[in-house]
Amino acid sequence: TQLLEQSPQFLSIQEGENLTVYCNSSSVFSSLQWYRQEPGEGPVLLVTVVTGGEVKKLKRLTFQFGDARKDSSLHITAAQPGDTGLYLCAGALDSNYQLIWGAGTKLIIKP
């Protein structure tokens, strides 16, 4: 069974603080995606990382794919209330079209 463990499950911090969300697995992924979901909506893709060690930046969000392509992190600098939401990671395997989903990190940024 392929698992993608996401941590923390819940995080509530003050505006302006930094935070990191992690996704870890024993499986090697061909790519890994990060999604953000707001209440009442479906997940929306933020980024896809493909190469081991790859770092992508999206404004204050920095995404990193582990060298071995088994793990990934999302770092948010100077969090804003607009960053509030459920963050989901999803890994793709070469051998299967299904994405392996993490359980999500519920992030609340307090003004």
Partner 1 sequence: GAGVSQSPSNKVTEKGKDVELRCDPISGHTALYWYRQSLGQGLEFLIYFQGNSAPDKSGLPSDRFSAERTGGSVSTLTIQRTQQEDSAVYLCASSFEISGAGYTQYFGPGTRLTVL
Cβ neighbourhood burial of 92 (10 Å; 0-12, 13-18, 19+):
middle
CB 38 within 8 A of CB 85: yes
Nearer to partner 1, 36 or 76 (CB): 36
Shortest Å distance, C-beta 11 to partner 1: 13
Nearer to partner 1, 18 or 26 (CB): 26
Assess 96 for contact with partner 1 (CB under 8 A): yes
User: With CB under 8 A as the contact rule, which of the stretches 14-22, 57-65, 66-74, 101-109 interacts with partner 1?
Assistant: 101-109
Q: Enter the DSSP assignment of 83.
A: G
CA-based nearest residue to 107, from 23, 31, 7, 27: 7
Give the whole-angstrom CA distance, residue 109 versus residue 11: 8
User: With CB under 8 A as the contact rule, which of the stretches 13-21, 56-64, 65-73, 82-90 interacts with partner 1?
Assistant: 82-90
User: With CB under 8 A as the contact rule, which of the stretches 52-60, 62-70, 74-82, 96-104 interacts with partner 1?
Assistant: 96-104
SS3 111: coil
Q: Enter the DSSP assignment of 53.
A: T
Binding site for partner 1 (CB under 8 A): 6, 30-31, 33, 40-45, 48, 50, 86, 88, 90, 92-94, 96-99, 101-104, 106
